[in-house]
Amino acid sequence: MARLTQWAAWVAAAVLLTGCGGGPAGPSANDGKATPAPAPPAGSQSAPARLPSSLTSQRLDWGRCGATADSPAPGDEWRCATLKAPLDWSRPDGETIGLALIRAKATGDRTGSLLFNFGGPGGSGVAALPAYASQVTALRQRYDLVSWDPRGTGESSGVRCRSDRRIEAAEAIDVTPDTAAEERAYLQDAADFGQGCRKAAGKLLAHVSTTDTARDMDLIRHVLGDAGLHYFGMSYGTELGGVYAHLFPREVGRMVLDAVVDPTADSVGHARNQTRGFQRALDAYLKSTGQDPGHGSRKIADLLRRLDAKPLSTSSGRKLTQSLAVTGIALPLYSKRGWPALTSALAAAEQGDGSGLLSLADAYNDRDDSGHYGTTTHAQRAISCLDSKQRPTPEQARELLPEFERISPVFGAFMAWDTAGWCHDWPVPGQYDTPRVSAPGAAPILLIGNTGDPATPYEGARRMADELGKGVGVELTWKGEGHGAYGNGSDCVDSTVNAYLLYGTVPRDGKVCS
């Protein structure tokens, strides 16, 4: 998947820019009971039939959480532990890796554990969950809130592919090359990044797929003692949830997938979807400022062309390049609360000061004031390039340019070239063109699509529902703006989700919240 899905952008929008979620919903007839899942259909995939007792009988040693390289220690209500999981799920009795977990216990009558994945892929759930917890206080009444660092991320053998110095140097690379020399530099940088990942991760690089992580989730469920997996997945976390449901349909408990990834799209399809989604969000933003979307987009595209020729100065002494500017424009589109910051940054850039857009790009890229970068993008690339078989060539990217630029004069070229650069010369082969998410016989799964979502466009929810199978995917639509729906200002969405998770109330398929 293209870089505009990365977890850092979601966290910046959802945690830093949004408020708290809604309150609890009312009870229903099956109060406190998970919706039972029928037996899996014949021929469905499953985990290895027998797991060694060293995995299934392990007891988690929950203790105080410490600070990590990228996040401070959370409050006393949080406890952390390490779970052992197989490095290679085809050899479950072989070498293991440690997965970092975090938990806050339920405050009331406990239903079970609720496992969160915040998207990406590549983000640390251990760092994100405490920051997000204020939005899900209603859910904590009945659930232990649990998250983890998926393999290859954060404290779970996190992959770091290059140094801060080299990351900053790479920001000068033109990611929409106009000349043969720029194209060679772009592709060489991509290849160098992959080799850095290979050197840093070693044999782990071939075992960080979404399928590997879905199997880890079932081990987490097992060790936590939950009969079914109660799960809240956002953005990429929806793809992970779909893969889990395909592998373990009988273990699906109450599952919410918010900001749903289109499981039918390959890597080029995702790039096309996102080009359309970000342009829709930009159009909505421009309309809110009284501008004609076509004229406003052309004005921004002209700014980007000028930056391609001559980057802008900033108050930090660094330069705002075209690629950093595109990143800075994308971040505020993840939430309406970011729109005023975009207005200010664009106005300053037109006056010759790139500081505002650079600050937004740094937030997206997880760069702090000291010049230290987080590793979200490193893990994201390692996971998505192991998942995807597709390796579009530069020639194919150039063929996409006219179509993508028609869809979006601002984001089109960036997204078209990203198809060729993201996994260029990756050191391990990909596993599939599109993920398998069919889950006939699973319990109902609540899918939330937001009509204004830039990163995971609305159409993905319907396609996920179709792929999951009849009677499994239950679609809820929110006519809103920003990435994701729950906790973003809709009492209708929040109360529907709370009723489902707290009391097992499955809404009518096709329900719309405006």
Could you please report the per-residue DSSP string of 3-53?
A: GGG-HHHHHIIIIIS------PPPP-TTTT-PPPPPPPPTT---S-S---H
112-117 and 319-320 beta bridge pairing = unpaired
The whole-number pLDDT of residue 51 equals: 79
CA atoms of 252 and 96, how far apart (whole Å): 25
**130 within some domain:** no
Could you tell me if residue 485 is inside a domain?
no
Percent of the chain scored above 90 by pLDDT? 87
Please indicate, yes or no, if residue 302 is contained in any of the structural domains.
yes
Please report the pLDDT score of residue 45 as a whole number: 39
Instruction: In whole angstroms, give the CA distance from residue 230 to residue 501.
Output: 8
Q: What is the pLDDT of residue 193?
A: 97
Q: Is 77 exposed, middle or buried (0-12, 13-18, 19+ CB in 10 A)?
A: middle
Q: What is the pTM of this model?
A: 0.91
Task: Find residue 252's DSSP bridge partners.
Answer: 229
Three-class SS of residue 258?
Answer: strand
Q: What is the pLDDT of residue 50?
A: 67
Residue 401 lies in a domain: yes
C-alpha–C-alpha distance, residues 183 and 321, integer Å: 16
Smallest CA-to-CA distance from 15 within 122, 130, 106 is with: 130
Q: Which residues of the chain have pLDDT under 50?
A: 1-2, 7-49
1 alpha carbon, distance to own chain's centre: 10
Q: Please list the active-site residues.
A: 235, 453, 483
Domain presence at residue 201:
no
Establish if 510 belongs to a structural domain. Answer: no
Counting other chains too, the contacts that 352-355 makes at CB distance below 8 Å and 24 or more residues apart are 352/312, 352/313, 353/312, 353/313, 353/314, 353/315, 354/307, 354/311, 354/312, 354/313, 354/314, 354/319, 354/320, 354/325, 355/314, 355/315, 355/316, 355/320
DSSP 123: -
Q: Do the domain assignments include residue 339? A: yes
Amino acid (1-letter code) at residue 473: G
Contact 81, 60 (CB under 8 A): yes
- Total count of domains within the chain: 1
User: And the tokens for 339?
Assistant: 């729109």
In a domain, 275, yes or no: yes
Tell me what pLDDT residue 30 has.
31
Q: Please give the pLDDT value at position 54.
A: 87
**Could you tell me the residue range of the domain that residue 397 belongs to?**
268-365+392-423
